[in-house]
A and B are shown apart, each in its own frame.
Chain A
Amino acid sequence: MKIRETFEKRMKKGQKTLITYIVSGDYGYETTKENIRAMVRAGADIIEIGVPFSDPIAEGVVIQEASQHSLAGGTTLAGIFNMVKELRQEIKETSFVMMLYLNTIYRFGTERFFDLCNECGINGVIVPDMPFEEKDEIQGAATAHGVDNVSLVTPTSHDRIAAIAKEAEGFLYCVSSIGVTGTRSKFTTDFDAFFDIIKKSAQIPCAVGFGISGPEQAKMMSQYCDGVIVGSAIVKLISQYGEESPEKVYEFTKSLRDAIDK
């Protein structure tokens, strides 16, 4: 489903959108599929399909280690596309957003990459090392294929927020705090001020991510915007429980859903 429609569906019910992230291929594609099924069943609306990269400079240690582990197991972009294509046969409503580093797209071939996004039912991409200034690297192909190029804004973006938000597609990814991905025990960002600027500029839904460790933080953060993104906390569970993780991931995702629906 289109990202906008996914948000709108929740908004109509007065609810928030839940976005969850996974490092694809960690403990094998079957484990990833089971985990995605579990997240969808538990109420996740958008799945961020993480593509592991050898040198993920925007990631904290949890996603770094999962990425390395996945790559060591032989995960490839083509393999991930296959996995998504298979999942798409059974999961129709959920939006799939691929999160990956720009070199992966560049090396694969931008046209070929977006062709496969269409073929496999990928609705959007998030490229953490492609700032606003460099987005033309993929924007033409993304637009031509109807795939949303999701932009990020951060507490250090300040006067860049307006320009980024104006051209943002799908949803605006609001980074909760400075630093890399990973759970945090507390936040120091002045969220009222941060989201005040964002809301003045954004014409599309906003979701907040980075550092959200559990239901309470998800609930707290969800009041500022239209959706919350949880990544490292889920990846940590998968690292901990491996092939046995889907049940844990279901329970955890369910707890997030319940918390933000309260």
Chain B
Amino acid sequence: MNKIGRFGEYGGQYVPEIVMNAVNELNEAYEKYKNDPEFLEELHKYYKEYANRPSLLYYAEKMTKELGGAKVYLKREDLNHTGAHKINNVLGQILLAKRMGKKRIIAETGAGQHGVATATVAALFDMECVVYMGAEDVERQSLNAYRMELLGAKVVAVQSGTRTLKDAINEAMRDWATNIETTFYCIGSVMGPHPYPMMVRDFQKVISEETKQQMKEQEGKLPDCVVACVGGGSNAMGAFYDFIQDKSVRLIGAEAAGRGVDTLDHAATIAKGTKGIFHGMKSLFLQNEEGQIDPVYSISAGLDYPGIGPEHAYLHEIGRAEYVSITDEQAVTAFEYLSRTEGIIPAIESSHAVAAAMEIIPKMSKDQSVVICLSGRGDKDVYQVARYRGVELDEN
């Protein structure tokens, strides 16, 4: 059977009939423009002039010395406009939405980074923007919620279910079904029905393309390993994609183990998930025997998702990428470590990747190199980390 949008058996288009024509329309537009020189030229113009690309590949010399193993490079997606990799994808999708004549943009957000990026680009292109955010995430990330409002978006605090990212996606999908004729759903990760997983990957692959070029210039060779955090998995897909063909490059995704993968409080989909069909895709999910989706937990609102993009499920299955689980404690420790050592405060999401890299770097030799995708900056997480460490900030 020849089905579209598959990565092995993963992927597909498992959405209600009501949105299928919109999904097909989007797929046609994506196919039409993905290699269109004019579209790509415009996209790269905004990458460069608005989003501050290419992002730096920074040699973390102090960290390298301290860890005593492979050379550490940080791919500084945190230096992008809006402070995370999310804007790469949003620029692509909104330029597509513009060509499709859509004027209303909706998005879901976990930590708020995708919501902020969407609100930002919607402001730039004069589009109406509604962002769905779990009520619990609004509390954890109130600064980002307010940022979105400053940017002119409407933030809807989702009260249903577990009041986190998955529920925000449910609500965004319901909005999409209700306003399908006018609305473009800007999904923030490599998930959902086809074409989203491929399209979002294609808009994020600039990360690995730049990294490869920068490594060539700075090291004269490929990195030995690329590490990125994985919730839905967009920064990781972007950081991995151009290296998939280079078999010598180890690809490592860091999932959120929360309070530990052997507790109920984690979001480690690859470690503990099973095959399922949800949010438009066949992939791996944290679910019970009845197929009910599990509530998940991570200190990081951006990794707090019970599924994973289908291409990651596939890369895992064929053994091309490895996935490790990082606890809250490890992530917070890495957050503090990078702040002190390099003067860079990473997002708590990205701190999972830093922690995973810190495990392997000392075991590698000095002529090897590791690239850590620093997917976002950590200003938004300072309050949460303080609270985790028992420090009361007089913020609220």
Q: Tell me the chain A residues, 140-185 only, with Cβ under 8 Å from chain B.
A: 151-154, 156-158, 160, 164, 175, 178-180
B324 part of interface (Cβ distance < 8 Å): no
Q: Tell me the chain B residues, 6-44 only, with Cβ under 8 Å from chain A.
A: 12-22
CB-nearest residue of chain A to B294 = A54
Is the beta-carbon distance between A55 and B290 smaller than 8 angstroms?
Answer: no
Q: Within 8 Å CB of B290, what residues of A?
A: 76-77, 104, 107-108
A85 to B179, CA, bound (A): 40
Q: Within 8 Å CB of A157, what residues of B?
A: 17, 20-21
CB distance from B289 to the nearest CB of A (A): 7
Is the beta-carbon distance between B178 and A55 smaller than 8 angstroms?
Answer: no
Q: Which stretch of A89-97, A125-133, A226-234 is in the interface?
A: A125-133
Q: Within 8 Å CB of B14, what residues of A?
A: 102, 129-131, 134
Q: How large is the interface on A (under 10, 10 to 19, 20 to 34, 35 or more residues)?
A: 35 or more
Contact of A132 among B20, B278, B291 (CB under 8 A): B20
A238 to B208, CA, bound (A): 54
CB distance from B158 to the nearest CB of A (A): 11
Is the beta-carbon distance between B277 and A180 smaller than 8 angstroms?
Answer: no
A130 to B19, CA, bound (A): 11
Q: Within 8 Å CB of B4, what residues of A?
A: 133
Contact of A131 among B13, B160, B173 (CB under 8 A): B13
Contact of B181 among A56, A68, A131, A178 (CB under 8 A): A178
Is the beta-carbon distance between A131 and B293 smaller than 8 angstroms?
Answer: no
B120 part of interface (Cβ distance < 8 Å): no
Is the beta-carbon distance between A131 and B276 smaller than 8 angstroms?
Answer: no
B3 part of interface (Cβ distance < 8 Å): yes
Contact of A156 among B18, B276, B292 (CB under 8 A): B18
Is the beta-carbon distance between A71 and B292 smaller than 8 angstroms?
Answer: yes
B281-303: contact bitstring with A at CB < 8 Å (1 yes, 0 no)? 00001010111110000000000
Is the beta-carbon distance between A103 and B15 smaller than 8 angstroms?
Answer: no
B161 part of interface (Cβ distance < 8 Å): yes
Is the beta-carbon distance between B161 and A131 smaller than 8 angstroms?
Answer: no
B166 part of interface (Cβ distance < 8 Å): yes
A157 to B20, CA, bound (A): 8
Q: Tell me the interface secondary structure of chain B in the complex.
A: mixed
A49-71: contact bitstring with B at CB < 8 Å (1 yes, 0 no)? 00001111110110010001001
A145 to B274, CA, bound (A): 27
Is the beta-carbon distance between A158 and B291 smaller than 8 angstroms?
Answer: no
A106 part of interface (Cβ distance < 8 Å): yes
A136 part of interface (Cβ distance < 8 Å): yes
B177 part of interface (Cβ distance < 8 Å): yes
A77-103: contact bitstring with B at CB < 8 Å (1 yes, 0 no)? 100000000000000000000000111
Q: Within 8 Å CB of A104, what residues of B?
A: 290-291
Q: Within 8 Å CB of A68, what residues of B?
A: 161
Q: Within 8 Å CB of A53, what residues of B?
A: 291-292
Is the beta-carbon distance between A54 and B161 smaller than 8 angstroms?
Answer: yes
A-B pairs with lowest CB-CB distance, top 5: A107-B291, A179-B178, A54-B292, A103-B291, A154-B18
Could you write out 9 A-B pairs with CB less than 8 Å apart? A54-B161, A61-B160, A102-B14, A107-B274, A107-B291, A131-B17, A133-B3, A151-B17, A152-B17
Interface residues in chain A, defined as those with a beta carbon under 8 Å from any beta carbon in chain B? 53-58, 60-61, 64, 68, 71, 76-77, 101-104, 106-108, 128-134, 136-137, 151-154, 156-158, 160, 164, 175, 178-180
- Other than A131-B15, A152-B16, A175-B18, give 16 A-B pairs with Cβ distance below 8 A: A54-B292, A54-B293, A55-B161, A55-B167, A71-B292, A102-B277, A103-B287, A104-B291, A106-B276, A107-B289, A107-B290, A151-B17, A152-B17, A153-B17, A158-B21, A179-B177
